[in-house]
Structure 1
Amino acid sequence: MSETGRMRASVLTAATSLEVQSREIPVPDADQVLVRIEAVGVCGSDVHFYKEGRLGDWVVDEPLILGHESAGVIVAVGSDVDANRVGERVSIEPQRPDPTSRESMAGQYNLDPAMEFYAVPGVDGAFAEYAVIQAHFAHTVPDSVSLEAAALLEPLSVAVATARKAGFTVGSRVLITGAGPIGIITAQVAKAYGAAEIIVTDLDAARREQALRFGATRVIDPSAESVGSLGLDVDAFVDASGAAPAVRSGFGEVRPGGAVVLVGMGASEIPLPVTTIQNNELIVTGIFRYANTWPTAIGLVERGEVDLDALVTGRFPLDEVQQALESTGRSDTLKSIVTPQR
């Protein structure tokens, strides 16, 4: 830990404006731990905040530290936390719900309206040398899991939550639109859960090739084939693109009684085929983060059923967070990692 009690952090000061600032190292509350951040994945939400200064109803109106896919080493603990946790390698579940809320009491703490979440306006994230988190959301990872993979347990948790909603199981037939990081990770999870067919669509040829490397059994170019009329008859359709045409096209490929899970961030409103949903009794739902997913995610990586290290296509120090954010627009980028200690 710095002898001066200060740390470096990459701070979003306005849309497209970042600067590395000196900040005080946060002091953990009684139930928190202080983590030396070693790796942070770049997420699409970080890019939205950087480029537009907002994401949906969230507007950046004061300086904000971005980054919520993070991992590191515990270097200090609050008064109520076992001091033996110092030195543990941990993956951060970057949220703080109200444990007494209706949603938390029902086991859906991710839906707590009062949630405090890393890198959402009002709560600083992890593009910094240190961060604090409640001790129970600092998940210990085995030595066989790299700290970069530990950071990417966060998007893997999104995929695990998706798998649960979609009902992935042995023999499932799955359609995934969008071969970005979430689509690719979801394909890996589908394979780990025993899916027999994993079909991935994307307009970009390089991304389709990546999907085949990570578990897809078939890829489709939607500009060459009319998704929606191929008769795929899948059990589950997952949209990981957020693109309205992709969302609409998938409904026509789901068997009666199947599931549709909307994960990608796109337009706030799009027309949906209501008659198809009604006549086929499709179950349509969204994904908003995750709850109780880290143990499953850690197990998938530890057993080698999901490869997160292979997703890393670039590493950037705090001084190059802007380059890290802008790298996500390239088709050869899957996951860019920020390394605050470099």
Structure 2
Amino acid sequence: MTQHSAPSAAAPPAAVPSTMRRYVLAGRRRVELRSDAPVPVPGPGEVLVRVAACTVCNRSDLAYFHYHGLRDHCATGCFGHEVAGTVAAVGPGVTRTRPGRRVFLRTPLTSGFAEYATAREVAVGALPDTVPFTQGAILQLLPLAVHATRGVRLGDRVAIVGQGPVGLMALQAARMRGAAEITVADLDPWRLERSALLGADRRVVADGTAASLAAMGGGFDVAIEAVGTPLTANACVDLLRQNGLVVFLGTHHVDTHVTFDMVAWEKKGLRVHTAAEPTDQDRAAAMRVAERLAAAPDRLHLDALLTHAHPLEELPDALDRLSRSPTLVPEGTATPYTTPPEATLKIAVCPGAP
């Protein structure tokens, strides 16, 4: 699963071809591999990256795959947005990177399920030589977790509902921000074992009910919702102390509308923020922190999140495995799955050998 990294000096840029292999989302639950897709040309302030690895987003990519054609937002997001690779070319005005540099992307402009992808310069982060590309693609989650945990203060008690990849990244970010106690919950005991390795103080096995999440306790300073369902969003309200902070980190692509008891919010005087960076200034600030943390392997552990790596052609297999999850159907809808796929977190697909 380990991929050799490039030497410290930027490698000489290779010639950029005119066409490439690229997966396209051709319909609901249907992807097609094109062998003659045009290689995108970076415009002003943009960077072209030769993709070495792209991890599958366990939430957005799967929602786009399953609901394409049914929900408008599933046709507008970038399918395949967790990318690591080498800069192949830069557009006019780019100053922070150059061809040959190893990078990871926060949010690309074109799909990373391809041999090349473009991104705005603000979305490009430096990837240390010590981080394999397959793990580097997971770093897309790091600036998100950095921004999501900006309200965590030294000594806080933090609850994190959901221990998929983004919840585990938030766990690491909250610990580095000085949280004194972190309690986590998930449907999958195997994922909670990873939580213990990454610094969780207390773990709760949930069963998809509000009662099981209530077992996390109460009086938390910060509750981070890292799943994206109405049940988990409302559970965070109950977990908090007066004037506590709710953080919406989970993506509500499936259940896009959530109903809250606003009297409960008012009585507690709760605060709320989301994880998304609303401005380029916020994006740049989060990326700078993420770059520093990525260069500190003793503080950030990506190996615990990567469980599989496949060649690009096996993207359909990765999508099939990750789709065996109960959170991909609207709340209250029957599903044969009670937990996420066994022993699975991040799956990387690689245009070259993984």
Deviation, 1:79, is 4.3
Native 8 Å contact 1:260 1:285 kept in 2: yes
The reply to whether residue 318 of structure 1 matches residue 312 of structure 2 is yes
Quote the residue 2:195 is aligned against.
Answer: 211
Partners of 1:219 and 1:302 in 2: how far apart?
A: 29
Which 5+ residue runs of structure 2 have no aligned equivalent? 1-13, 325-340
* Letter aligned with residue 48 of structure 1: A
Native 8 Å contact 1:169 1:195 kept in 2: yes
Native 8 Å contact 1:242 1:265 kept in 2: yes
How many aligned positions are there?
311
Q: Secondary structure at the match of 2:24?
A: strand
Q: In terms of mean alpha carbon deviation, does 200-209 or 288-297 score higher?
A: 288-297
In 2 relative to 1, CA 319–259 (structure 1 residues): closer, same or farther, beyond 3 Å?
same
Native 8 Å contact 2:204 2:215 kept in 1: no
The aligned runs of 1:52-91 (5 Å cut-off) are: 52-53=67-68, 57-60=72-75, 66-81=79-94, 85-91=98-104
The reply to whether residue 148 of structure 1 matches residue 159 of structure 2 is no
Which 5+ residue runs of structure 1 have no aligned equivalent? 96-117, 119-123
The reply to whether residue 305 of structure 1 matches residue 289 of structure 2 is no
Partners of 1:216 and 1:230 in 2: how far apart?
A: 12
* Letter aligned with residue 189 of structure 2: A
Quote the residue 2:54 is aligned against.
Answer: 40
Q: Secondary structure at the match of 1:258?
A: strand
The reply to whether residue 262 of structure 1 matches residue 260 of structure 2 is no
Deviation, 1:288, is 2.9
Partners of 1:197 and 1:83 in 2: how far apart?
A: 38
The reply to whether residue 49 of structure 1 matches residue 64 of structure 2 is yes
Partners of 1:262 and 1:55 in 2: how far apart?
A: 24
User: Taking every aligned residue pair, what percent have the same amino acid on both sides?
Assistant: 32
Partners of 1:84 and 1:170 in 2: how far apart?
A: 34
Quote the residue 1:193 is aligned against.
Answer: 177
Partners of 1:152 and 1:216 in 2: how far apart?
A: 20
In 2 relative to 1, CA 275–228 (structure 1 residues): closer, same or farther, beyond 3 Å?
farther
* Letter aligned with residue 303 of structure 2: D
The reply to whether residue 135 of structure 1 matches residue 150 of structure 2 is no
The aligned runs of 1:83-162 (5 Å cut-off) are: 85-94=98-107, 118=109, 124-162=110-148
Native 8 Å contact 2:45 2:121 kept in 1: yes
Deviation per CA, 1:274-296: give whole Å up to 9, x if none: 22211111102333357231111
Partners of 1:226 and 1:135 in 2: how far apart?
A: 44
The reply to whether residue 235 of structure 1 matches residue 221 of structure 2 is yes
Q: Secondary structure at the match of 1:50?
A: helix
TM-score of the aligned structures, taking structure 1 as reference length: 0.83
The reply to whether residue 335 of structure 1 matches residue 323 of structure 2 is no
Native 8 Å contact 2:249 2:275 kept in 1: yes
TM-score of the aligned structures, taking structure 2 as reference length: 0.80
Quote the residue 1:244 is aligned against.
Answer: 230
Native 8 Å contact 2:128 2:294 kept in 1: no
Deviation, 1:173, is 0.6
In 2 relative to 1, CA 56–207 (structure 1 residues): closer, same or farther, beyond 3 Å?
farther
